[in-house]
A = this chain, B = another copy of it.
Amino acid sequence: MRARLRAEMTEEIKTTARRHLATEGANLSLRAVARDLGMVSSAIYRYFPSRDDLLTALILDAYTALGGSVAAAEGAVDRADLAGRFLAICHAVRDWALANPHEYALIYGSPVPGYVAPTDTVPAATRAVTVLGGVIEDASAAGLLRDDEALPPDAAQDVARVGALIAPHAPLGPLSRALGSWLHLFGFVSFEIFGQLKNAVDVPGPLFAQQMRAQAVYIGLPTA
């Protein structure tokens, strides 16, 4: 019972912190959060040992939310439609980022000064890219991807290392292009969220859709 109250309070702190994050930005004020909750700042330290730990909790939540959103979107597509699954992932990332820009900034923006990502954020962080790996792996298993590109040995090693984690049987050429698509995807979303596209592209949606469709073709994923 006490434990349940504690869990509820912890969640309540996180949600109001999220709200403050959305209105104020990354410099989250513990005291302001405490004020909103009608309590004093020191009380928050009963639940989070420091401000960084609160941020870490929010980061972890953001990663799992993004990962879940991506996984859900990809899971709703016909398994045989590999390009469709890829595009679902891309749009899920962008849609989530547009809906939660401050949480996106929290995880994909510049890291907080002294902040070091605890190792327990790693599994949550890699969830989204693992979904992409599943698509590539399925396409590879279906014999749709061929090892059509000769990579330099050192680059091949990098690609193979990532591939071992997300798509162990995929040929390195398409895998390298899929990795590039991932970077392309986040480059686009980051530029859009962080305002780097201002005064250049006013309605980025169509451009995004076209770019990602081209990436699906470039990787070699067949359209259903």
Which residues of A come within 8 Å of B, CB atoms? 24-27, 105-106, 108-114, 117, 122, 125-126, 149, 151-152, 154-155, 157-159, 161-162, 165, 176-177, 179-180, 182-188, 190-191, 194-196, 199-204, 206-207, 209-211, 214-215, 218
Contact = CB atoms under 8 A, between A and B. Distances in A.
Contacts of A122: 199
B109 A201 contact: no
Contacts of A199: 122
B211 A176 contact: yes
B210 A152 contact: yes
Contacts of A162: 200-201
Nearest to A186: B187
11 contacts: A108-B196, A110-B194, A152-B206, A152-B210, A154-B203, A155-B206, A180-B214, A183-B187, A183-B188, A184-B184, A186-B190
A107 to B, nearest CB: 9
A223 to B, nearest CB: 15
Contacts of A200: 126, 161-162, 165
B206 A158 contact: yes
A81 to B, nearest CB: 20
A211 B180 contact: yes
B110 A161 contact: no
Given A154-B203, A184-B180, A190-B190, A110 B113 contact: no
Given A109-B110, A187-B188, A188-B187, A151 B210 contact: yes
Of the candidates A24, A182, A207, the one having the most CB atoms from chain B within 10 angstroms of its own CB is: A207
A48 to B, nearest CB: 19
A71 to B, nearest CB: 19
Nearest to A182: B187
A66 B189 CA distance: 21
Nearest to A28: B113
A112 B152 contact: no
Given A26-B112, A149-B214, 11 more contacts: A24-B114, A27-B27, A27-B113, A110-B194, A125-B196, A151-B210, A158-B204, A176-B211, A180-B211, A183-B184, A190-B190
